[in-house]
């Protein structure tokens, strides 16, 4: 399979991974052939990229950590819970499922990127942010109780968006000062809404309040800084930002994983550097199926990512920056060819 930009999606192509709605319903199934109606449907979802079947990349596989049934279940539970009365048990079972899935399947790297319709952002953001946080928690050697609290807190961290006007959630314009202040209040509102529901789990509840705070005091809603931000809040901040950056939003297309991680690591004044590195070590910065530009002038598709050296993946040369397509493809193990550098990732047209 291969990750391509939707603008490069070709009629007659085939979808390699399903596209799900906010409630876990399948919008476009895996294996679907692309006709004009399907392409228009996908474009209307405001998705910038997706996985397609590519005969030249038939051996390329991704690991989403969450199995398809578990992911569907988590979306459904989260979708329902975020619109109902909050209780101490809200998404507790979902958190247990998430922790179990990560412990069973998350020994290696997360090598998949999420393909999420724009109107499914909040629910998908809740689930993927929680999964990323549990991966970080595992790196920190958290026990099961800590992981469970972390997962539950991340799943409900954006419950305060219930109070936001719909137009603020889908706005494509730059916010006015008043609109920006209104959106900031969702963190405080969520914390207040969880007062009774998560009273027995103060750290889990704290994620709602602190996941938009920054170490330098530039975050919101309190402008907390440094040690005033608990570790759960710091983890929440990093995972929340990473998922937001790598997701399609009304005002911009999704970033690639390497761009998002670079952004976080470059802002060590805002994000806990140790926790940022812990997340970076659990994610394939150049995931299988993505096209990369090499300093040799070649374009290549990432074929496999070794856990021991994820920044030096195995790549398959497909052509040149100038648009020349190679008739015979060749694989290169960048761990052995240390003189070749990846400059950046790109969404190249499907072969």
Where do we find the tokens 């100038």? 322
* β-pair partners for 20: 26
Q: What is the pLDDT of residue 160?
A: 87
340 closest CA partner among 313, 319, 318: 313
Q: How much is the pTM?
A: 0.94
81 closest CA partner among 98, 94, 97: 94
Residue 270 neighbours by CB under 8 Å, 6+ apart: 214, 215, 216, 218, 219
Q: What is the pLDDT of residue 143?
A: 96
* β-pair partners for 193: none
Distance CA 124, CA 238 (A): 16
Residue 75 neighbours by CB under 8 Å, 6+ apart: 20, 22, 23, 24, 120, 123, 124, 127
Q: What is the DSSP letter of 288?
A: T
Q: Max alpha carbon distance in the chain (Å)?
A: 63
Structure confidence by residue, pLDDT tens digits, 120-161: 999 999 999 999 999 999 999 999 999 999 999 999 999 988
* β-pair partners for 344: 293
Q: What is the pLDDT of residue 350?
A: 41
* β-pair partners for 304: 314
Distances (CA, A) of 316 to 2, 21, 302: 12, 33, 6
Q: Which long-range contacts (CB under 8 A, 24 or more apart) does 328-332 make?
A: 329/56, 331/303, 332/300
Q: Can you list the residues of the chain whose pLDDT is less than 50?
A: 350-351
Distance CA 9, CA 338 (A): 33
Structure tokens at 320: 């040149």
Q: Which domains does the chain have, with CATH numbers?
A: 2-57 (3.90.105.10), 68-280 (1.10.3210.10), 291-346 (no CATH)
Distances (CA, A) of 47 to 9, 177, 253: 11, 28, 8
Residue 179 neighbours by CB under 8 Å, 6+ apart: 168, 171
SS3 for 20? strand
């Amino acid at each position: 399979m291969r990750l391509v930009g939707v603008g490069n999606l070709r009629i007659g192509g085939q979808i390699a991974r399903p596209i799900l709605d906010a409630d876990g319903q399948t919008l476009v199934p895996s294996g679907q052939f692309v006709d004009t109606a399907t392409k228009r449907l996908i474009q209307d979802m405001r998705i910038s990229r997706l996985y397609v079947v590519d005969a030249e990349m038939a051996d390329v596989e991704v690991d989403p950590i969450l199995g398809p049934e578990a992911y569907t279940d988590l979306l459904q539970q989260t979708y329902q819970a975020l619109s109902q009365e909050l209780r101490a048990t809200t998404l507790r079972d979902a958190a247990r499922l998430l922790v179990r899935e990560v412990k069973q399947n998350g020994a290696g790297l997360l090598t998949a990127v999420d393909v999420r319709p724009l109107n499914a952002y909040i629910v998908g953001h809740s689930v993927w942010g929680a999964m990323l946080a549990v991966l970080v928690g595992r790196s920190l050697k958290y026990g099961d109780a800590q992981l469970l609290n972390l997962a539950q807190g991340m799943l409900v961290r954006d419950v305060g968006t219930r109070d936001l006007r719909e137009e603020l959630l889908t706005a494509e314009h730059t916010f006015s000062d008043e609109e920006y202040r209104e959106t900031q209040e969702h963190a405080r509102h969520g914390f207040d809404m969880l007062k009774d529901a998560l009273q027995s789990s103060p750290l889990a509840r704290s994620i709602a309040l602190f996941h938009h705070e920054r170490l330098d005091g530039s975050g919101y809603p309190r402008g907390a800084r440094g040690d005033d931000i608990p570790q759960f809040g710091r983890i929440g901040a990093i995972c929340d930002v990473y998922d937001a950056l790598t997701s399609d939003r009304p005002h911009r297309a999704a970033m690639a994983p390497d761009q998002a991680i670079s952004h976080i690591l470059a802002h060590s004044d805002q994000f806990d550097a140790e926790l940022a590195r812990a997340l970076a070590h659990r994610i394939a910065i150049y995931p299988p199926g993505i096209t990369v530009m090499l300093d040799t002038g070649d374009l290549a598709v990432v074929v496999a990512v070794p856990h021991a050296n994820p920044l030096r993946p195995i790549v398959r040369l497909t052509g040149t920056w100038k648009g020349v397509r190679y008739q015979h493809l060749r694989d290169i193990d960048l761990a052995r060819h240390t003189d070749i550098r990846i400059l950046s990732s790109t969404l190249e047209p499907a072969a």
